Amino acid sequence: MSETEWMSLVALLMVAILVVPAALRRNRGVVLRNAALWLALIVVLVWAYDRFGPFGN
């Protein structure tokens, strides 16, 4: 990984550390379900881009 990618990863983790605790406190009942739905959506989008995008085989 290049230095720019590492810095982006660190920035993302810093934002997550600031946002996640407040989100967990705000809506405890549905946060796990919402996280699972978003994760599934991201996985499908990444798969579709990899499969059908400009770099797909």
Task: Give the pLDDT confidence of 1-57 residue by residue, as tens digits.
Answer: 678 888 888 888 888 888 878 777 776 667 778 888 888 999 998 888 888 877 655
The predicted structure's pLDDT at residue 2:
79
d(CA 16, CA 4): 18
* Number of domains present in the structure of the chain: 1
Residue 15 falls inside a structural domain: yes
The answer to whether 24 touches 31, Cβ cutoff 8 Å, is yes
Q: Is residue 44 part of a domain?
A: yes
Q: Does residue 57 fall inside a structural domain?
A: no
What is the pLDDT, as a whole number, of residue 1? 67
Q: How far apart are CA 56 and CA 50, in angstroms?
A: 5
Q: Per the structure block, which two tokens stand in for 47?
A: 């798969």
Range of the domain at 7: 3-52
> Is the residue at 45 inside a domain?
yes
